[in-house]
Amino acid sequence: MTVIVTGGAGFIGGNFIHYHLKAHPGDRVVCLDKLTYAGNLSTLASVMEYPNFRFCKLDICDREGINRLFDEEQPDAVINFAAESHVDRSIEDPGVFLQTNIIGTSVLMDACRAHGNVRFHQVSTDEVYGDLPLDRPDLFFTEETPIHTSSPYSSSKAGADLLVLAYYRTYGLPVTISRCSNNYGPYHFPEKLIPLMIANCLNDKPLPVYGEGKNVRDWLYVEDHCKAIDLILRKGRIGEVYNVGGHNEMANIEIVKRIVHALGKSEDLITYVTDRKGHDLRYAIDPTKIHKELGWLPETKFTDGIQKTIAWYLEHRDWWEEIISGEYQNYYQKMYGDR
Ligand code: NAD
Ligand code: DAU
């Protein structure tokens, strides 16, 4: 089949393309990406010349361009990874989050409708459920947990999810949604916690921990997320939401210390900085539904995944050093300069 993957020059989309081309060599994969600050073509360098791969620089909000691409490719499925994805940036400037994450999703679904009700999968996030208290380890997000967002980012993702479900009910568009917890692994943009801490450690720079570092995230190795999406696309029930996560909760400070120790650095690098506004306390996914219905379970343990990730950043310094040498410096100064 022909699959359009949006946002494939980003972290998870890029990992998904590598996974998909290996797992389904008979499929045609068309990557559509606007190449924002978060998109890196070098992530896709090794597959660029594959005969069954095409890259197209395109904005998901560009209705005409999207319809033209659908006319050319006649896709069987669309997987929408394209998004503005960083919570801190959404707090600084929400507008582009609403445009890409909500309007862009509707443009893609309109094209799906206009081209024979193309199968559509929306890559969403556990952040649409808001947060859980730190002192109730018995509570988890299920697919029935009410939407209750905290940041402009999560609100825009929740808006998109509601639209996706509306297109299913109103127009019968064959949709699914996955809501995953925090991913980590190769090609992760160094503005996010794990790659930022690895890059700063390697450059002996301070490690900025928000608040007291007690906030908890539920970490999943990115390849496990890719496998879950692939399963949902092929075997998931239409109109359904699937939570994806592997019961791997850790406080931020614990993660940072692990990275410091793995790289043989000193904990003196850790610097507590002003907390994120509206900072969600704890995320924790209950993955029972995807396990029972589709047999999905995470395969990579955190101890192995974090080792593989650190090794990848050590072996691919050129990938992330190029990123942090450019516009990223202005971003870093703005976000952390006098925090
Ligand atoms: P990312 O920021 O690394 O990549 C986003 C990609 O989308 C980039 O390549 C960017 O160029 C592209 N893009 C942005 N705006 C676009 C537009 N208007 N048109 C076309 N392309 C555009 O993000 P990520 O971390 O890989 O996240 C991918 C998806 O997964 C997002 O939808 C995000 O909400 C979701 N998600 C992420 C995580 C996580 O831990 N990173 C967890 C759960 C869900
Ligand atoms: O849960 C899924 C979500 O995970 C995705 O939907 C988002 O796209 C993705 O960015 C991620 O959101 P978070 O806000 O959880 O990720 P981030 O890496 O930005 O931060 C993780 C935690 O680390 C959070 O509690 C804030 C904290 N943090 C982050 C940065 C960048 C710090 O303490 N210091 C930092 O410098």
Do residues 118 and 74 make contact, with C-beta atoms less than 8 angstroms apart?
A: no
Q: Give tens-digit pLDDT for 16-61.
A: 999 999 999 999 999 999 999 999 999 999 999 999 999 999 999 9
* 75 CB near ligand 1 (under 6 Å): no
- Residues annotated as catalytic (active site), given as ranges: 126-127, 153
CB-CB neighbours of 43 under 10 Å: 23
Q: Distance from the CA of 152 to the center of ligand 1, in angstroms?
A: 15
Nearest atom in ligand 1 to 189's CA:
3
Q: Give tens-digit pLDDT for 241-262.
A: 999 998 999 999 999 999 999 9
Out of 36, 232, 290, give the residue to mutate to test ligand 1, the one with the largest number of ligand atoms within 8 Å of its CB. 36
Residue 140 backbone phi and psi in degrees, to 5 = -140, 160
Q: Give tens-digit pLDDT for 55-78.
A: 999 999 999 999 999 999 999 999
As a whole number, mean pLDDT of residues 264-272 equals 98
Q: Give tens-digit pLDDT for 279-301.
A: 999 999 999 999 999 999 999 99
> What pLDDT shows up at residue 327?
87
Do residues 131 and 192 make contact, with C-beta atoms less than 8 angstroms apart?
A: no
> What pLDDT shows up at residue 339?
83
Q: Give tens-digit pLDDT for 79-136.
A: 999 999 999 999 999 999 999 999 999 999 999 999 999 999 999 999 999 999 999 9
> 42: which 2 tokens?
């070098």
How many CA atoms lie less than 13 Å away from 64 in the CB half-sphere? 0
Do residues 80 and 60 make contact, with C-beta atoms less than 8 angstroms apart?
A: yes
| CA–CA separation, 148 and 101 (whole Å) | 17
Residues with a CB atom less than 6 Å from ligand 2: 85-87, 125-127, 181-182, 192-193, 196, 208-210, 215, 217, 252, 276, 283
> What pLDDT shows up at residue 328?
87
Q: What is the four-CA torsion angle of 7, 12, 15, 16, rounded to 10 degrees?
A: -70
Nearest atom in ligand 1 to 188's CA:
3
| CA–CA separation, 282 and 32 (whole Å) | 33
| CA–CA separation, 14 and 11 (whole Å) | 5
